[in-house]
Amino acid sequence: MFNKVQEDYFRIYPEAKTLQDINNIIRNKSSEDFIRDAQNAGIDVMEDIHYRKGINGGLSINELLQYYSDMYNNPDEISKRLTSEKYKFINQLSQNRVSFVQFDELNKALYEAGASNWIENGLMALAKDKDGNNIFYGNIPSDAIINPLLEKYFYTSTLLSNNLRLSLIGTELNHKVKDLKGITSKLENKFNKEQIKFIRKYSKLNKN
């Protein structure tokens, strides 16, 4: 996605060697100037895809596209991001004192998730510390083991909630002008495929 936008930048300004060079070139340009330069290079550009207008005037590259491109092309970075979000999720449950009382269906789900030893005194633990002790409330450290059932819920919820958002309001790329030449669908299809690929890779959903 961003790679294509990046190719466009260097076709418009072949003298540039880096993205910082591109930023330096367009910083003092108006959108009209940038569009004209692009047209001279035979490239159609769109606001919020190829450039963004600065608060104090001038233009910049789309840092959001660059961020997603860097993240989805770096397995370590996406793993770090998902792990961070996963621990935020489990700590929110803990800080709000969310508890899960033992019942038959929960027992079955825990067994299927390989987490049948996560019940203590009729409650399901949210995590285990490095010594294997169950954690129900309080701060959950980053070296704790998250309950496998809740980990599955996190990844499933992330996937479904993002798909719901996409179906209702679109992505960060959503804008009426991006319907031109099918650019919206092309970018969103790429975004969805990369997102789903990494969520499946770093969750245990695809192991059952």
Alpha-carbon distance values, 51 to 93, 158, 178 (Å) = 39, 29, 13
Range of the domain at 151: 74-207
CA distance 2 to 22: 14
Domain co-membership, 91 together with 189: yes
CA distance 64 to 2: 9
Domain co-membership, 57 together with 115: no
Q: Could you tell me the pTM of the whole model?
A: 0.54
Average pLDDT over residues 77-91: 87
Position 20, amino acid: Q
Instruction: Indicate whether 66 belongs to any domain.
Output: no
Please tell me the total count of domains within the chain. 2
Q: Compare 191 and 61 and report the one with higher pLDDT.
A: 61
The answer to whether residue 154 scores a pLDDT higher than 80 is yes
What is the average pLDDT score of the chain? 77
Direct distance between the N- and C-terminal alpha carbons of the chain, in angstroms, rounded to an integer: 31
Average pLDDT over residues 8-29: 88
CB within 8 Å of 80: residues ≥ 6 apart = none
Instruction: Name the band, by pLDDT with cuts 50, 70 and 90, for residue 205.
Output: very low
Bridge-based pairing state of the strands 127-128 and 123-124: unpaired
CA distance 52 to 44: 15
Instruction: Indicate whether 17 belongs to any domain.
Output: yes
The answer to whether residue 124 scores a pLDDT higher than 50 is yes
Domain co-membership, 166 together with 92: yes
The answer to whether residue 166 scores a pLDDT higher than 80 is no
Instruction: Indicate whether 158 belongs to any domain.
Output: yes
Domain co-membership, 44 together with 105: no
Domain co-membership, 32 together with 89: no
* Nearest CA-CA partner of 191 in 164, 167, 172: 172
The answer to whether residue 190 scores a pLDDT higher than 60 is no
Q: Compare 41 and 82 and report the one with higher pLDDT.
A: 41
Q: Which neighbouring-strand residues pair with 47?
A: 51
Rounded to the nearest 10 degrees, what angle do helices 183-202 and 75-95 cross at? 70
Domain co-membership, 56 together with 80: no
CA distance 145 to 132: 8
